[in-house]
Chains A and B, each alone.
Chain A
Amino acid sequence: MKLAVSIPITVTLMIAAIQSGVVFAPTRVQAQQQVQPAPLAQLIETMGVVEMKRENGSNYQTAKVGENLYLGDLVRVAKGGRAVVRCTTNSRTWTIPDDKVPRGVANVCSPPS
């Protein structure tokens, strides 16, 4: 008899908890998502050889349109190429010069302190 009563109560409490925003402990993936920093910018246009190096990466790799760029990431454009990034915070666009010199995303897209 007791069991029959307590199960619906438990289920109701669980539903109420979920509805009111009380969630269970985050999974590992969720935890990782929480610590992931917000992107500073996004690559919105590329042409020719456009490469990027992540903050802790050791080599440059080809950059693709739509790629998110974070603090510490570098982008370089070979002669004749073109790359445009759009800053997340103020939507400012920045065309990276085609001199193969790396440019930090933070140079233009990190908000002023």
Chain B
Amino acid sequence: MNQTKTASRLERAVDRYEKAIAAIEMAGKDLSVELVLDVLTARNAVQAALEDKSQPNPGRLIRAVKELDARLKTQTSYINQVTKLTEWQAILNPPQKEWWWLLDPITPKPWRDRFDWLWRAFSLVLLTASLAFVADISTRFLTGRPDIWGVFGVIAPTVLTLLAGQGALTQNGREGIEYVLTSFKVDKSLWDEFICLLAGLLLGILILFWFSLPLIADKHYIKLGNEAYDAGLFILAEKNYNRALKLNPENTEVYYKLGGLYQELADYNKAIENYKIAWKGNKIEAADEIASLYLKQKKYDRADEWLKIVLEPLKILLDRTPYNMSKRDIKILSKLDSLNPKKDGRIKKFVAALNEKQFKVLKKQATLSDKQFDVLRELAYVYLKKKQYSDTERWLYIGLPYTKNDNNNKQENDNNNKQATMLAYQGWIQLDQERYLEAETPLLQAISLNNKLASAHCLLAQVFEKQNKQNDAKNSWEQCLQYASLYDQDENHWIGLATKSLKSKGKAQ
């Protein structure tokens, strides 16, 4: 009896629900609020009957409820046209499970929402690009122990990108972004555009940061490196220079500085390695250092090769005229120190258009730097001692004219040592080759330029002695003794010769 009563309750409720739905369907444009409320309350009754657990619900009726719910849902748009369900919700306060009170109005999407997939794709592309920049920036900063700039440089872009990535790509992140956007009252239809804009902004910031890396390198790390170098803190200087290079590998000046640092630490191979990169990057003076370091390592062939490279412009000035210069000659001559290196493009034109007079002026003004001279002198000396006289002469060919220019350009008292040394070497070769008469001239010239040059006096004494000019030899030996030093290998030997010769001359007198 009770079972029949319950079954009939659900049956009655379903029947009522069905009728109410049919009424809505029949009403069409004449649908009223009352009909809507009838159907919704009928659904309430169905739910109440369903929840009555005191008896089993017949499957037939449950199936009917499902079909009726589907019919109700198809009426959603009509229902929402007639009344705002939100207002009834405020009055009746239905629980969430009573979905029929929460039927959303089906509003047409704005046209731009049709392109949301495109914005999402853009966001993905922008975030991928951002990630690539983060990876690049991080690897540059993560070399060695990162400092404050390094920590900032790694953490800031990484955190930003991860936040943006999480927001765009994960459900939790999306909810977070939606929360932020809702609190900023951004229209829901613009969310994807807004996220894409944020991703673009992030990429923009990263690009800006990436482009400012050379500036950070130059203004911060090179400066720190220089300060550390000046203070003798070479490890710190090296660290900062290396960081500067990571941030701006194009800055060849840093390679030059690193070369200097390794040279200071007597790590010549590393120094040469860095100088070579600097030289390739158009740091011309790096070649001087390379030649000098090879010389220090007693790798004379390599030192010779590099000195040839260094002094090629000067050789062109000696060997060529403005009328027989090749394109290569013009290119090489443009690297001449005395020409302003900043106007490289214009210099090539200037060199190509040189007339004879200008060419001569250039030739007369060109000089050897101290470093270049030292390498040249040392090489000429090494060849002289090895009796490779043609190689010594090869370097004197360049050394003699350009050290003469040095004398012309400088003040009289500014030490004529360079030219005097070259002349002494010339006399030395001639002495070795027993060309005594010839040897006198360059040696006397050397002495006239630098009276304190012991080698010239000592060599001249030997030249006089070989010619049996005893008085001249005696005077020259005395002058040799005036300036010669035991600490110089040749002069040490000559001191012995001088004392021996003077002793025998003293006895003879």
Contacts and interface: CB of A to CB of B under 8 A. Distances in A.
A102 B502 contact: yes
Interface string A53-82: 001000000000000000111100000000
30 contacts: A55-B482, A71-B452, A71-B482, A71-B483, A72-B482, A74-B478, A74-B481, A74-B482, A99-B499, A99-B503, A100-B506, A101-B506, A102-B481, A103-B481, A103-B499, A104-B481, A104-B482, A104-B484, A106-B482, A106-B484, A106-B485, A107-B481, A107-B484, A107-B486, A108-B485, A108-B486, A110-B487, A112-B485, A112-B487, A113-B488
B495 interface: yes
Contacts of A48: none
Contact of B452 (A72, A99, A100, A112): A72
A95 to B, nearest CB: 14
Contacts of B499: 99, 101, 103
A102 B486 contact: no
* Chain A interface main SS type: loop
B503 A104 contact: no
Contacts of B484: 104, 106-107
A66 B481 CA distance: 22
A74 to B, nearest CB: 6
B415 to A, nearest CB: 14
A26 B487 CA distance: 37
A101 B486 CA distance: 17
Contacts of A110: 483, 485, 487
Interface residues of A, number: 18
A73 B482 contact: yes
Nearest to A103: B481
A107 B485 contact: yes
Contacts of B483: 71-72, 104, 106, 110
Contacts of A101: 499, 502-503, 506
Contacts of A102: 478, 481, 502
Contacts of B482: 55, 71-74, 104, 106
Given A104-B495, A110-B485, 9 more contacts: A99-B499, A99-B503, A99-B506, A101-B499, A104-B483, A106-B485, A110-B483, A111-B487, A113-B485
> Sorted from nearest, which 8 A-B pairs have the closest CB atoms?
A112-B487, A104-B481, A110-B485, A101-B502, A104-B482, A72-B482, A101-B503, A101-B499
A113 B478 CA distance: 22
A106 B480 CA distance: 10
B504 to A, nearest CB: 10
Interface in B470-505: 478, 481-488, 495, 499, 502-503
Nearest to B503: A101
A12 B483 CA distance: 51
Contacts of A107: 481, 484-486, 495
Nearest to B492: A107
A38 B278 CA distance: 42
